Chain A
Amino acid sequence: MYIFAFMRMRPWQRVAFIFGVVLGTLALTTTLQAHSRQRARWSPKERALLRSLSLASQGPMPEDPSNRYADDDAAAHLGHLLFFDTRLSRTGTVSCASCHVPEKNFQDGLRVGRGVGDGSRRTMPIAGTAHSSWYFWDGRADSQWAQALGPLENPVEHGGDRTQYARTMAREYRAEYESIFGPLPSLAGVPAHAAPVAASGSEAAWARLPVGTRDDISRVYANIGKAIAAYERRIDFAPTRFDDYVAAELASASQSPASGFTADEEAGLRLFIGNASCVNCHNGPQFTDNHFHNTGVRRDSEPSPDSGRSAGVVKALAGEFSCTSRYSDSRPGDCAELRFAVAEGAELVRAYKPPSLRNVVGRAPYMHAGQLASLDDVLQHYSDAPSAAIGHSELKALHLSAGERRQIMAFLGTLTGPLTAPSGFLTAPTRN
């Protein structure tokens, strides 16, 4: 609309227009620059913001009312075994840990995940995700346990099916399973492969099963997810130099050498929570708002059109294992995220969940399909804010100088630290 108005202007009108924009922007940028040069202490408002980003403000692990086994230690122990078990795949070669590699921050360093086939999106980090309300880049699952059931039946990830997995549980994990979830159903007469997954080759066999048998098998399947979630939920980020810095600042202590930031790191933090507005979307102790944003990250070629949250929310609402499904342990009144989800609208088109920025340094490539090879590229992206190929980008160009980009990267480096988990959970289990 504005473009058309501009094109209809006479030349001198255009000059007046451009002059106005330039003058306005100039007035603004000079004030911005004057601001960023000084290295003042933090204002009360900034201190509140710093506090909100610190792990110390995270509070207790949020409950998952849809998974009554979430805080059961035996379930977490079983989930640990299952997370690393390659028998939970069509080929016997893929486990969750094939892509979510513990030594690599539970990621794989690839542009897109590779299981029994090539995936279409990048493997996401796992630590701290119990604090999230939506899972996957597009939020198509609304709990950790519902999420876990996605890859298991995804033809290019684990590639197996729930009937196969129920058999695996009966054969390999009967005692553990039954002590937590109660007796396994009889699988006599049930075919080796059956699942309600389109084009998997096993959907016809599934359709032939009696409804009760299908329900029994799906319940075992849901419980596999609940055990894995009980394991995953115990993996979180440990405090880093950033958290130490905030603690020292809030205690008004002069910066101790252990927690002190370099001038670059501090300037980067100031940009992050200030003029660069990163904190709009990367907020809270996990540095994500757990919502969905189109940030105009383009993709040259994609296996199938990816509309991001637009499609994700539809899948979440229809989810076979959602918070409101028959396999959920929730009570009426729970599941607010699902019940009050925005289900349509232009803002959802190609919108993705911002991943946590903790441990972001050293886990290249970045973005939902690994489009950006380095943090340099990421900062250049935020500096330029290219328009989105599909939908509308929420970003405004920041025009960051090389120095400012370096400062923000230096700050991101202060978010690097170890993970916390119960003993043994960060490595492969010793059984099997």
Chain B
Amino acid sequence: MRPSFRFTARHRSVAIALVALIAGCTAFAQAPRDLDYSRTRASQTGLYRGTIRPAGDSIPQGKMQSWSLHLETAAGAPVDSATISVDGGMPKHGHGLPTKPQVTRSLGNGDHFVEGIKFNMGGWWVVKFHVSAAAGSDSLVFNISL
């Protein structure tokens, strides 16, 4: 069978020029405008819903902090028994988190204690929780603005 669309050299060069244009524009740019910074988010394939609760109202810069993560299924049942790993970083700067946060214990009612969180500069950060529990494996992605 013949593919209906063939990616020719010409297509490629147009695509490359476009990508280059965008790269040139965004090289120093700030975070995308329409980011969702909410503290409650659905996981990427919708298995879970998570809520981050930093210790204070605002998230401090340069300070070691502990959060709690509330985890529930899409149906709203709290998830206590889960393996959760944490990573993240600054997408625009191309670096990861300055620390390696860990979920150190379950607090009950779907709450989990997250220790070792730190943000060493201002700007757009992403913190991801990779959850593996009875309902399956999925990731929660939170945008943080500092």
Contact = CB atoms under 8 A, between A and B. Distances in A.
Contact of A284 (B18, B62, B101, B115): B62
A347 interface: yes
A7 interface: no
- In the complex, which of the residues B19, B21, B115 has the most CB atoms of chain A within 10 Å of its own CB atom? B21
B102 interface: yes
Nearest to A342: B100
B64 A337 contact: yes
A340 B100 contact: yes
Nearest to B95: A347
Contacts of A394: 93-95
Interface residues of A, number: 42
B96 A16 contact: no
- Chain B, interface SS category: mixed
Interface in A276-291: 279-281, 283-284, 289-291
B116 A20 contact: no
Nearest to A398: B28
Contacts of B99: 337, 340-342
- In the complex, which of the residues A24, A284, A345 has the most CB atoms of chain B within 10 Å of its own CB atom? A24
A291 B89 CA distance: 14
B38 interface: no
A21 B20 contact: yes
A12 interface: yes
A290 B13 contact: no
B75 interface: no
A104 interface: no
B17 interface: yes
A10 B9 contact: yes
A23 interface: yes
- In the complex, which of the residues B14, B17, B94, B116 has the most CB atoms of chain A within 10 Å of its own CB atom? B17
Contacts of A291: 98, 120
Nearest to B29: A28
Contact of B122 (A9, A17, A283, A347): A283
A280 B120 CA distance: 8
A19 B95 CA distance: 28
Contacts of B123: 280
Nearest to B117: A340
A49 interface: yes
Interface in A226-257: none
B97 interface: yes
A296 to B, nearest CB: 14
Nearest to A289: B120
Given A20-B17, A24-B23, A347 B96 contact: yes
A299 interface: no
A5 interface: yes
Nearest to B10: A13
B18 A20 contact: yes
21 contacts: A13-B9, A16-B16, A20-B21, A21-B23, A23-B21, A23-B24, A24-B20, A24-B21, A24-B22, A24-B25, A28-B24, A28-B27, A133-B64, A291-B120, A340-B101, A340-B118, A341-B100, A342-B97, A342-B100, A394-B95, A396-B27
